[in-house]
Amino acid sequence: MARATHTFPDSFLWGAATAGYQVEGNSRHTDFWEWEQAPGRIARGDKSGAACDWWEGGRWREDFDRAAADGHTTHRLSVEWSRVQPAPDRWDDEALDHYRQMVRGLRERGLTPLVTLHHFVNPPWLAERGGWERAETVSRFERYVRRVAAALGEFVDLWATINEPNVYLFQGWVSGVFPPGKRDLSLAMRVGANLLRGHAVAYHALREVQPAAQIGLPIHFRPILPAQPGFVLDEWVARTQFNLFSSLFPDAIRTGRMRQIARPALAVPEARGTLDFLGLNYYTADVARFDLTNPMELFGRRTFPAGAEVDDAGVYASYPPGFFDSLKWCHARGLPVYVTENGIGDEADKLRPRYLLTHLRQLWRALNFNWDVRGYYHWSLVDNFEWERGWTHRFGLYAVDTETQARTPRASARLYAEICRSRALSSETVARYAPELLETMFPG
């Protein structure tokens, strides 16, 4: 075996990501809590319940301790609008102080906070008024952002405005598996424009409150490869599906126009240039084949790339070249990049070590091209409530027993800790955690 070490820059940030609703627990006053109470919406009828007990039980402290002990230098978390503004005319200063304690707690442990301001969940009073279908939600979101920035800005200088607006848009208004559960393309176009405006007003508000802040937008990237390269219809399907999903919001921010969802293009000039960094959420890639019988997916039928290992839920498959291609696409936009999510659902932790090692190898390759990638956030630090998949899809470095709240480190937690502490990916590490990869990663 050839002995080798792939080193990462000393300034590179290593961490994990979480989201408020998925870990805090008992977020009763939200649209998603109301949504999950109806039968048939969540796998097995699961409920978020106490989740990971971060809010009432304060278990964020022990989880932050674990992250710090494992060598993490950053953590991504989100603030829940519904806790900060429980009613249209009422702000909850105790909730803001709770979040302030959390971001201060990260700083005290040597972890840089990256705070997301919207991660799929809304206050019920906002949803009852039409939510993101209504233009006035944009100005309401701006007021909320200003409150949070004023409260947390002492400890936070990395911000994400709206997590995966492309996923939120698709799940809520196209597939209908998130609230409000609609399948209405005309409404989806309106929501897309309002989400873009929401990002823009959040960006400008943060810049005004905190001029030195770095502000980004996490986008779920899903590269789509043509089943038959060179066949014009497969090429068209792959390109069109990618443009309507992965590149929709970044392109609109670059040009100030949402051209993919409206003809003529919908002008949103206030959004132009409103990114200091691009957040890359990468999990998997697809292969698309033209299929005239599938109009609901733009006449394309998608499968995973040949040979890709599929996860527990059949939702994602390990395809490391797609990660490199996504990093390349982001680099071409001329902005710094943070990998704001990357991971795989794998309760038994058999696939995750291979997934982690092979994807970090692609990240190391990108850095060797001097691409400006500044940090990596594994999804997720702990098992959490995975939306419509409930507790059936477990991404945590640490397993969580939802009955006892006990945490158990998976082998992948130890693996990731070795990488974070050493800022390197070595052949010895691969030999310990995934020896089957040695011949391909370190041949000779």
The rounded distance, in Å, linking the Cα atoms of 297 and 246 is 15
Q: Is residue 444 part of a domain?
A: no
How many other CB atoms are found less than 10 A from the CB of residue 257?
Answer: 18
b vs e for 354-390, b when ≥16 Cβ sit within 10 Å of the residue's Cβ? bbbbbbbbbbebbbeeebebbbbbbbbbbbbbbbbbb
Does the pLDDT at position 31 exceed 60? Answer: yes
Segment 317-326 shows an average pLDDT of 98
Q: Which range marks the domain in which residue 408 is found?
A: 5-438
| The pLDDT value given to residue 295 | 83
| The pLDDT value given to residue 281 | 99
Q: Is residue 267 part of a domain?
A: yes
Quick check: helix, strand or coil at residue 81? Answer: helix
| The pLDDT value given to residue 261 | 63
| The pLDDT value given to residue 260 | 66
Tell me the CB-side half-sphere exposure of residue 332, using CA atoms within 13 A.
9
Does the pLDDT at position 263 exceed 80? Answer: no
| The pLDDT value given to residue 265 | 75
Does the pLDDT at position 433 exceed 60? Answer: yes
Mean pLDDT, rounded, of the chain? 96
CA 274 to chain centroid, in Å, comes to 19
| The pLDDT value given to residue 120 | 98
Whether residue 180 is preceded by a cis peptide bond, meaning omega within 30 degrees of 0, is yes
Burial class (CB in 10 A: 0-12, 13-18, 19+), 46: middle
The rounded distance, in Å, linking the Cα atoms of 149 and 271 is 19
Q: How many domains does the chain have?
A: 1
Q: Residue 236: which CATH number?
A: 3.20.20.80
Q: Is residue 61 part of a domain?
A: yes
Q: Per-residue confidence at 189, pLDDT binned at 50, 70, 90? A: very high
Does the pLDDT at position 62 exceed 90? Answer: yes
Q: Is residue 17 part of a domain?
A: yes
CA 187 to chain centroid, in Å, comes to 24
Segment 212-218 shows an average pLDDT of 98
Does the pLDDT at position 286 exceed 60? Answer: yes
